[in-house]
Amino acid sequence: MVSHLLLMSLYAFQTGLFFALLWKRTPRERLILFSQIFFSLLGGALLLGWLMYPFPAGPPAPFP
């Protein structure tokens, strides 16, 4: 089974690479933009997941 973290990292990598190649000309500028986009997407998703952790997704569990 593929983990959500792996898929999220792959998405962040592809998105960062696409926009870095599209918007910047020099390799240094591309690397800087790629790292900014990659770490922003990955860090933002992890932060959002951490903030949502205390709130359960489903109905409350029944008491035994």
Q: With a cut of 90, say whether residue 63 has pLDDT above it.
A: no
Query: How confident is the model over 10-61, as pLDDT tens digits?
Result: 999 999 999 999 999 999 999 999 999 999 999 999 999 999 988 888 887 7
Distance between CA atoms of 17 and 37, rounded to whole angstroms? 9
Question: Which sequence spans correspond to the domains of the chain?
Answer: 24-52
Q: Is 34 exposed, middle or buried (0-12, 13-18, 19+ CB in 10 A)?
A: buried
Enter the pTM of the model: 0.81
Q: Is 20 exposed, middle or buried (0-12, 13-18, 19+ CB in 10 A)?
A: buried
Distance between CA atoms of 13 and 18, rounded to whole angstroms? 9
